Structure 1
Amino acid sequence: MSPARSTFVREDLFFLAELAGEAGRHEDVIKQIKLIIDHFSPQLTTEERSLLSVAYKTTTNALRNSWRVIDALYKLQSTRKAPLHLIQRQRDRIESELTGVCRDVIRLLDRELLPAATEGEETVFYSKLKGDYCRYLAEVGQKRDRERFAELSLKAYRSAYKHAQATLHPLHPTRLGLALNFAVYYHDIKTSPERACHLAKNAFDNAVLSVDASDPGLDQILRDSMAILQLLRDDLILWSGEMKDSDEA
């Protein structure tokens, strides 16, 4: 073993990452998984990959929720006599933090994780992640940046979806999770509930039609996918209602 590796044991780094996750220390989780990538391999185990994904997701979800609250307050107070510059300063600070985390994920994906990914589920998973974090960047920031990241997100989702259709079972939770987030992209970023419904319905119908009671191997996949199928169904109902209201208006 080389000197550079001698001070690190992969199992210990993973244990520390798990420990940090239990303690809610998401930045430490990311640091430990990055050490695994740097000193061992960018090809992560399923458990390592899951820890990394959850740490980034938890961090960005908190920042996205905070940004939405402050942005809503800014829009509300813009019609009143309020210290808008202070609200804007806080919004910009949160936006800067969120942008930094998202760019960090995308950089890690482009430089390390995607080039080392195997064909199939791993490639779909990482391509979906890139689509997600580019989508988050398309939700905030200046117009030029929003447009650029919207296109990058679309490109990543399309690549992931094409690969998923070729390599993953229609019931596979990674394929369904991708379809759900890709549909959200069309609804939220492209403001197209029609395309969102089409994509979600296609994924939902294909998954349901692929259920084979005689195949015991699908039991676990179906259990893992049930929550995503419910989310797809809920979004379909919501978005279909939006289109109906729009037609009646």
Structure 2
Amino acid sequence: MGHEEAVYLAKLAEQAERYEEMVENMKIVASEDRELTVEERNLLSVAYKNVIGARRASWRIVTSIEQKEESKGGASQVNLIKEYRQKIEAELAKICDDILDVLDQHLIPSALSGESKVFYHKMKGDYHRYLAEFAIGDRRKESADKSLEAYKAATEVAQTELPPTHPIRLGLALNFSVFYYEILNAPDQACHLAKQAFDDAIAELDTLSEESYKDSTLIMQLLRDNLTLWTSSEAEASAGGAGQTDSAAKEEPAVKEETAVKDETAAAE
């Protein structure tokens, strides 16, 4: 299949909401060992985010049911649920390993611009984080370490090559702060990172380009929402309350050029 055909079929699959096929088409494009266009990069991201997002939502629901059954002492149901959860985890691992391989083998080595380097290292951090969400023991530590390393690599480039108001730099700060809060259990670092990114963007709001205004301000709102959620959770915890609330921290939505697609309900993880 040719390059243009693969891109067209990926767009068609997106419209039909057949994201597994969208992934397969974009993998053809991503394996060409060249710098992707912004449109191609976003198509790839949207494809994988929808495929992984559906499983992550399923995993959260099944895990919640499992915990309720355990508290009731329903041993036979718990065993069935555990097997089902492990089936979802195997699917999650396969998807994460797949995109991480594409990133390491093709996309990161071919990235030329600062923007694409940040985008792909951030993506690498995200998918290692998704693995860390359900992994246990050494596998969890390994995924968390690799996620931290990728986010740090992305941050290093972002701070020198992208303005504080750039949506990719803001999205990186948003997801990196979620990593600190939910994977490393480091609320102070999470809040510091999110507040710094928000304040830096506010200080340079006049440099915000018209085309990225909508995307940047959306992510700034998500940063602020998380800060509100986290600071109230920490206040409750220190006062002897329940600690974390049931609300999920908000993570960067998949952004297409024209519209922000909230494929992870704009508030996943």
CA contact (8 A) 1:194 1:243 kept: no
Task: Find the counterpart in structure 2 of residue 103 from structure 1.
Answer: 97
- The alpha-carbon deviation at position 168 of structure 1 amounts to 0.1
Alignment of 1:220 onto 2:211: yes
SS in 2 for 1:191: coil
Task: Find the counterpart in structure 1 of residue 201 from structure 2.
Answer: 207
- The alpha-carbon deviation at position 28 of structure 1 amounts to 1.2
CA contact (8 A) 1:211 1:218 kept: no
Q: State the Cα deviation string for residues 73-122 of structure 1 (Å, max 9, x = none).
A: 11221132242211111000000000000010111100000000013110
CA contact (8 A) 2:30 2:102 kept: no
Q: How does 1:32-71 map to 2 (within 5 A)?
A: 32-38=25-31, 40-71=32-63
- The alpha-carbon deviation at position 141 of structure 1 amounts to 2.3
User: In structure 2, which of residues 237, 246, 262 is the aligned counterpart of residue 246 of structure 1?
Assistant: 237
Q: TM-score, normalised by structure 2?
A: 0.85
Task: Give, in whole Å, the separation in 2 of the partners of 1:31 and 1:119.
Answer: 25
Aligned residues: 238
Alignment of 1:196 onto 2:185: no
Amino acid of the residue matched to residue 248 of structure 1? Answer: A
Alignment of 1:19 onto 2:3: no
Give unpaired runs (5+ residues) of structure 1: 1-7
SS in 1 for 2:35: coil
Amino acid of the residue matched to residue 247 of structure 1? Answer: S
Q: TM-score, normalised by structure 1?
A: 0.91
Q: How does 1:1-12 map to 2 (within 5 A)?
A: 8-12=1-5
User: In structure 2, which of residues 117, 121, 131 is the aligned counterpart of residue 127 of structure 1?
Assistant: 121
- The alpha-carbon deviation at position 241 of structure 1 amounts to 0.8
Q: Would you tell me which structure has more helix in proportion to its own residues? A: 1
Task: Give, in whole Å, the separation in 2 of the partners of 1:42 and 1:87.
Answer: 44
Q: How does 1:155-174 map to 2 (within 5 A)?
A: 155-174=149-168
SS in 2 for 1:233: helix
Amino acid of the residue matched to residue 35 of structure 1? Answer: I
Give unpaired runs (5+ residues) of structure 2: 241-269
Task: Find the counterpart in structure 2 of residue 139 from structure 1.
Answer: 133
Alignment of 1:234 onto 2:225: yes
- The alpha-carbon deviation at position 53 of structure 1 amounts to 0.6
